Amino acid sequence: MRLATLLGPDLKDALQTDPAALHEALEEFHPEDIAEIVEDIQLDDAVSLFRALPDDWGADVLERLPPEVQTGIIGSLSVEEAAGVLSEMSPDDLVDVVQELQEERQELVTELLGHFEQHEPEVAEEVRELSAYAEDVAGGLMTPDYVALPPETKCWEAIEEVRRLSRAEEVETIYYIYVIYGQVLVGVVSLRDLILGDPGETLADVMAENVVTVRDSDDQEEVATAIAKYDFNAIPVVDEHGNMLGVVTVDDVVDVVIEEATEDAHMMGAVDPIDDGYFETNLFGLFRSRVTWLSLLFVGGFLTATVMESFQEQLQTMLTLAIFVPLIISSGGNAGSQSASLIIRALAVGDVEPSDWWRVFGRELIVSVALGLVLGLLGFARAYFAADGGEDPVTLGLAVSLSTVGVVLVGSMVGSLLPLGIQRVGLDPAVSSTPFIASLVDVVGLLIYLSAGGAILSMA
Amino acid sequence: MRLATLLGPDLKDALQTDPAALHEALEEFHPEDIAEIVEDIQLDDAVSLFRALPDDWGADVLERLPPEVQTGIIGSLSVEEAAGVLSEMSPDDLVDVVQELQEERQELVTELLGHFEQHEPEVAEEVRELSAYAEDVAGGLMTPDYVALPPETKCWEAIEEVRRLSRAEEVETIYYIYVIYGQVLVGVVSLRDLILGDPGETLADVMAENVVTVRDSDDQEEVATAIAKYDFNAIPVVDEHGNMLGVVTVDDVVDVVIEEATEDAHMMGAVDPIDDGYFETNLFGLFRSRVTWLSLLFVGGFLTATVMESFQEQLQTMLTLAIFVPLIISSGGNAGSQSASLIIRALAVGDVEPSDWWRVFGRELIVSVALGLVLGLLGFARAYFAADGGEDPVTLGLAVSLSTVGVVLVGSMVGSLLPLGIQRVGLDPAVSSTPFIASLVDVVGLLIYLSAGGAILSMA
């Protein structure tokens, strides 16, 4: 509440009368909470706030704002003002802002880089290096601000260096000290071991070798898996020669894991992943994220009509067959959705590999036949009582129940093996979404039911 | 490779000739990697390894083994040996092992607790306190091993205390020092600020107030959201009076986020979440995770047969109507799956609240009408060319396309509002799985299509 008051209608007055007092009052709050309120106030109020308060305060808040608000604020500041705030940000966050600006305000980015080139060439250099990486690989997540020292450094010297860098706010994480020989990463010492160790020992004496690293080109999902597996606070990023390039910290990884889970959940529901929140995405964005898949699935679904047409004669004479069409095809779709959600998730966390397809096939075969028998039994009962004179109840029951077994089997096979195949060819297995599997199985299910079920019925 | 050799066929020899050398060799590797191999070796080899090597080594490896291997090893050791290893574990991991043992080996847990009671009563106390919490709330994730000091402590005293506790391996994280008045949490100082600060200042001088905390009863998802939001390395857990109880560290949270995403993905696919990996779950476990929902959906699907039966006469005279049944109902299911996956994920990350239902309703209404019109147009074309003399092509086209608009609209509404309602009554919105939404929409979609579409056709 108090925070909302500080940034409320009296903000302009407060900024004019005593910006220092306002700054002190705001220091009480976490930048994340401040960012949440800044997001909702008028743009010109926000800009006045960034102008009046120190650059490091602005940097802390700016990095936590959504992209469109960042762009709005940076665009309204002068190049000098903007550069002041940006150069206080950690390089990885700065690059994210610059990459965001690039899309809409190319000329502003050129001006900013020119300004850095003149006044702080090392910032311009870092931005250029980091911009080379895609946002979703280790290189795009890492920060180049870490502590790296040669192996012969004494522990007390290392502590002094950590204090110096940390006081100058030049490092993002001080909890690991990386030991480099030339630029090659050869060991790591935790701050904990450093402050516990004998000050006269060298880093080479106390360091752990066999450092777990990721490559700069590794996908962010692999980075997340490595950090989660080893319970690290940070993981070093190296190039193909083992040269240290940066570190990815665990707090960025938590964001990555959440982001990837959202992406997968959307894809599984046949939605093109939306980057922003549900309410932040405009109506056209929501429409666009859904229309492609929905139309493709609909046009693909024309095949069901084609199958139905080709069995038209049979349906004419045995209309009871038509009655069970929705039930049977949906059971195949449901079984397929189940298998797909198990396998896609297992692929995402690394439990299953495409090369395991033979084992997956065996397991799904057994499980789906068991499931099919359960449903088949239920289906037999329902069909038995549906026969109203035209058909023999047992024959109709058999037609429905045997088709159900077949459809559940096919559904599970498609649902489990298709994601493996898609991953095998290098695509994201989550594109074999639940609706996609269901629609595919609809067609196959119809063919099975209308031909096998129809054959059984006509034998009677 | 080298690790696999160390733990390979010659393991027994190595343990008999020179366990100290083996221990030293193993120290080169991360316990996580060792655990991965121990998982696959013979149980009696693993037990010999735990017997021969120091308890703190055993503790590091044991906490990373899957539950069934943990139970196997602990069950094969004597009570004294097991207690030795267990008491070296951090309390939160120890409690996880004990809770796992509880299910199958109640008598062993009683013996172990009796042993702790006699020799290390503080361990028994901690286990009792932590066991009171469910595994998936903050209390079940937290460790009681943290650094907490009174506000009048001088910074140099605090550093000394951190060194002492850290050397004694009595704390899990030293990166935050919590400031408590009595037991009430009043502030926090990061290790970074502590080593940077003036040694003569007190913690009260340098601490940050307004500490972000979670309640012991908070769901693990809320803990993860808070840590992710504020980019913390650890978050303190307090009771209803603000007394500090423990801390949850970010590495545990990464695991929680992955676990919750898996749970949601399974539920979204109508699978009862399985706790272990795909291949670790036996066939019966896989069957059980799927049979309940699949059967329920199948029996619910009987309603589609009932609807079809009640329109039997109409279908008899207009068989073309039946031809489009699978296409139309699947488009409703697909639209519903899309909406559900967007909303369920937005609820999980806190973007949308059940109280937003009115805004969601408005957005889905507009978007789904637009989507429905696109599909309706496609459907019109398909139906127009399907009419083979019996029906007027335009009328058939209208029947199919108008029904499609209605079904897509209803599908999106059900898919978006049902999860909100389910969360509102306190259940996990992911139970409104994609197959559940699709099956529900099947029934409604059939009713719409057969009545509205049928009416349009018979008007012609």
Least confident segment among A321-325, A363-367, B234-238? A321-325
Contact at 8 Å (CB) between B289 and B271? yes
What's the rounded mean pLDDT across residues B8-17? 81
Q: Do A233 and B233 lie within an 8 Å CB cutoff?
A: yes
**Using one digit for the tens of pLDDT, what is the confidence trace for B364-395?**
999 999 999 999 999 999 998 877 667 788 88
Above 90 in pLDDT, residue A194? no
CB B386 to CB A305 under 8 A? yes
- Chain B environment of A404 (Cβ under 8 Å): 298
Q: Is B382 on the interface with A (CB under 8 A)?
A: yes
pLDDT in the model for residue A427: 86
Residues in B closer than 8 angstroms to A372, CB to CB, are none
Residue with tokens 């509102």: B424
Chain A contact for B153 (CB, 8 A cutoff): no
A4-8, A215-219, A413-417: segment of lowest average pLDDT:
A4-8
pLDDT at B76 over 60: yes
Alpha carbon A8 to chain centroid, angstroms: 35
Contact yes or no for B265 and A331 at CB 8 A: no
B296 versus B87: the higher-pLDDT residue is: B296
Say whether residue A358 is in contact with chain B using an 8 A CB cutoff: no
ipTM: 0.78
Minimal C-alpha gap between B86 and chain A (Å) = 20
Question: Is the pLDDT assigned to residue A150 strictly greater than 60?
Answer: yes
- Residue found by looking up tokens 């071991």 in the block: A193
- Chain A residues in contact with B210 by the CB 8 A cut-off are 28-30
For B337-374, write each residue's pLDDT tens digit. Answer: 999 999 998 998 888 999 999 999 999 999 999 999 99
Residues of A in contact with B295 (CB under 8 A): 374-375, 378
Of A295, A315, A327, the CB nearest to B378: A295
pLDDT band at residue A460, thresholds of 50, 70 and 90?
low
Residues in chain B closer than 8 A to A235 (CB atoms): none
Closest chain A CA to residue B324: A305
| Nearest-CB residue to B254 (from A250, A346, A348) | A250
Residue in B231, B302, B319 closest to A251 by CB: B231
- B100-158 pLDDT tens trace: 887 777 788 888 888 888 888 888 888 888 888 888 899 988 988 889 999 999 998 99
Please tell me which of the candidates A340, A352, A435 has its beta carbon nearest to residue B278: A352
**Cα distance between residue B51 and residue B33, in whole Å:** 19
Interface test with A, best of B308, B311, B407 (most A CBs within 10 A): B308
Q: Which residue has the tokens 């450094």?
A: A153
Annotate A152-220 with DSSP letters as a single string.
Answer: T-BHHHHHHHHHHHHHTT--S--SEEEEEETTEEEEEEEHHHHHHS-TTSBHHHH-B-S---EETTSBH
Contact between A251 and B265 using a beta-carbon 8 Å cutoff: no
A positions 93-112 inside 8 Å of B (CB): none
- Kindly state whether B324 is in contact with chain A, defined as any CB-CB distance less than 8 angstroms: yes
pTM reported for the whole predicted model: 0.78
Query: Is residue B418 predicted with pLDDT exceeding 90?
Result: yes
SS3 A401: helix
Residue A252, pLDDT score? 82
A227–B contact, CB cutoff 8 A: yes
pLDDT at res. B460: 64
Find the closest chain A residue to B209 by CA distance.
Answer: A28
Cβ contact A294–B334 (<8 Å): yes
- Report the pLDDT averaged over residues B304-333: 88
Higher pLDDT, residue B107 or A444: A444
pLDDT band at residue B213 under the 50/70/90 scheme: very high
Kindly list the residues from chain B whose CB atom is less than 8 angstroms away from the CB atom of residue A433: 337
Read off the pLDDT of residues A113-129 as tens digits, 9 standing for 90 and up. Answer: 888 888 888 888 888 88
Among the partner residues A316, A326, A375, nearest to B304 by beta-carbon distance: A326
**B27 in A contact zone (CB under 8 Å):** no
Closest residue on chain B to A30 (Cα)? B230
pLDDT tens sequence across A261-301: 888 889 888 898 888 888 888 899 899 999 999 999 999 98
pLDDT score at A1: 45
Whether the pLDDT of residue B208 is over 90: the answer is no
User: What is the gyration radius of the CA atoms in chain B, in angstroms?
Assistant: 30
Q: Which residues of B touch A210 (CB under 8 A)?
A: 28-30
**CB contacts, 8 Å: A336 with chain B:** none
Contacts of B224 in chain A (CB under 8 A): 254
Considering only alpha carbons, which residue of chain A is nearest residue B265?
A341
What is the model's pLDDT at position B125? 84
Best mutation target among B145, B177, B256, B297 (most A Cβ atoms within 10 Å) is B297
Place B214 in a pLDDT band, splitting at 50, 70 and 90.
Answer: very high
pLDDT band at B1 (very low <50, low <70, confident <90, very high): very low
Selecting from B250, B302, B435 the residue whose C-beta is nearest the C-beta of A337 gives B435
Nearest CA in chain B to A300: B327
Residue, of B88 and B244, whose pLDDT is higher: B244
Q: Taking all residues of chain B, what is their mean pLDDT, rounded to a whole number?
A: 87
Q: Judge whether A82 and A49 are in contact, CB under 8 Å.
A: no
Residue closest to B296 by CA, chosen among B154, B445, B433: B433
Smallest Cβ distance to A316: which of B289, B319, B386? B319
Smallest Cβ–Cβ distance between A257 and the set B254, B312, B360 belongs to B254
* Whether the Cβ atoms of residue B311 and residue B452 lie closer than 8 Å to each other: no
* B437: closest chain A residue by CA: A334
Q: Do B270 and A351 touch (CB under 8 A)?
A: no
CB proximity list for A140: less than 8 A, separation 6 or greater: A92, A95, A130, A133, A134, A220
Q: What angle do CA A226, A344, B426 make, to 5 degrees?
A: 95
Contact A224 B356 (CB under 8 A): no
Q: For the segment A386-440, what is each residue's pLDDT rounded down to a tens digit?
A: 776 677 888 889 999 999 999 999 999 999 999 999 999 888 888 878 889 989 9
Would you say residue A227 has pLDDT above 70?
yes
Mutation for testing the A interface, residue in B174, B212, B290 having most A CBs under 10 Å: B290
pLDDT band with cut points at 50, 70 and 90 for residue B89: confident
* pLDDT score of A389: 62
A345 to B262: CB separation less than 8 angstroms, yes or no: yes
pLDDT above 90: residue A375 = yes
Res. A149 pLDDT band, cuts 50 70 90? very high
- Does the pLDDT value for residue B172 go beyond 80? no
* Average pLDDT of chain A, as a whole number: 87
B334 CB contacts (<8 Å, ≥6 apart)? A270, A293, A294, A297, A298, A435, A438, A439, B411, B438
Size of interface A-B (CB pairs under 8 A): 362
What local confidence, expressed as pLDDT, does residue B405 receive? 95
Mutate to test the interface with B, among A143, A170, A337 (most CBs of B within 10 A): A337
B159: chain A residues, CB-CB within 8 Å:
195
Q: What is the pLDDT of residue B443?
A: 92
